[in-house]
Amino acid sequence: MTRRRWIADEVSANRAALIGDHAHHLIRVLRVRIGQEFDIVANGVLYSARVDNIAEGRVEFELKAEIPAATPAPVTILLSIFKFDRMEWAIEKCTELGVARIIPVIARRTDAHLVAASEKRVDRWRRIAMQASEQSRRIAPPEISEPVKVRDAAELPAERKILLSESEEQSTLRELLDADHSQGSTLLAIGPEGGWTEDELQLFRENGWSSATLGKTILRAETAAIAAVVIATQ
């Protein structure tokens, strides 16, 4: 049976601990017992671990043998901010699929009220990514940055920079990736509801981005994000 995996809240030498909501789930929901074994990620390293102390709001582990673990794909997704319930779903699924980083982007067509509220949502997005990372057995959650403006997003460096665009009719994402055999970092930019404006498309082109399509149908932003990540991480 596959052991549950947790990302430690505290690490010291050969010991680690889960606290707060983490510990509550183990104690109240899973009924953890002394001597049970779990996989614990401590400072980015995966270990087998044994529970050796349980207290109110705290579960402590002795770290045992190090376990080989897969590393995240070098894919960063630039996700133009859209309706928060659907964006949270996209963050969860992109985390499960293995992206290394998620950057919320303030695009020209991003609703003003979403822009105003976005900075206060970052902590929630990070909690969602943490939970999804443990569920999908990652060794670390993706980095989720503070929201950035399109100009700053367009200037980010990477070996491959691909803009998903409804106006692109020639090159598919799969074709662009197949033509470039680089194993380095990849940026994928997903536009807002309504798509990128013409001046935004021009800005990305000026900064060395290639445009790609995901097909002939118009996808919701969260669907496009998931489809793009699946293709890029295969």
Distance CA 108, CA 199 (A): 9
Residue 78 has a pLDDT of 98
- Per-position pLDDT tens, the chain of length 234: 577 889 999 999 999 999 998 899 899 888 999 999 999 999 989 999 999 999 999 999 999 999 988 778 899 999 999 999 999 999 999 999 999 999 999 999 999 999 999 989 999 999 999 999 999 999 999 999 999 999 999 999 999 999 999 888 889 999 998 887 777 899 999 999 889 999 999 999 999 999 999 988 889 999 999 999 999 987
Distance CA 85, CA 67 (A): 35
Distance CA 73, CA 139 (A): 12
What count of other Cβ atoms lies within 10 Å of the Cβ of residue 97?
Answer: 21
Tokens 């104690």, residue located: 27
Using alpha carbons, select from 10, 84, 72 the residue that is nearest to residue 233. Answer: 72
- Say if strands 58-66 and 15-19 run parallel, antiparallel, or are unpaired: antiparallel
- pTM of the predicted structure, to 2 decimals: 0.87
User: Which residues of the chain are in CATH 3.40.1280.10 domains?
Assistant: 75-233
Residue 152 has a pLDDT of 97
Say which residues have a Cβ less than 8 Å from residue 37's Cβ, sequence separation at least 6: 3, 48, 49, 50, 51
User: Which residues of the chain are in CATH 2.40.240.20 domains?
Assistant: 5-66
Using alpha carbons, select from 179, 180, 164, 159 the residue that is nearest to residue 226. Answer: 164
DSSP, residue by residue, 148-171: EEHHHHHT---SEEEEE-TT--S-
- Residue 232's φ and ψ, nearest 5 degrees, are -75, -20
H-type alpha helices, 64-220: 84-97, 112-118, 122-135, 150-154, 173-179, 198-206
- Residue 77's φ and ψ, nearest 5 degrees, are -110, 125
Residue 64 has a pLDDT of 95
Domain 75-233 has CATH 3.20.20.370: no
Residue 65 has a pLDDT of 94
CA angle at 95 for the pair 150 and 205, rounded to the nearest 5°: 25
What count of other Cβ atoms lies within 10 Å of the Cβ of residue 225?
Answer: 29
As a CATH number, domain 5-66 is 2.40.240.20
Residue 1 has a pLDDT of 54
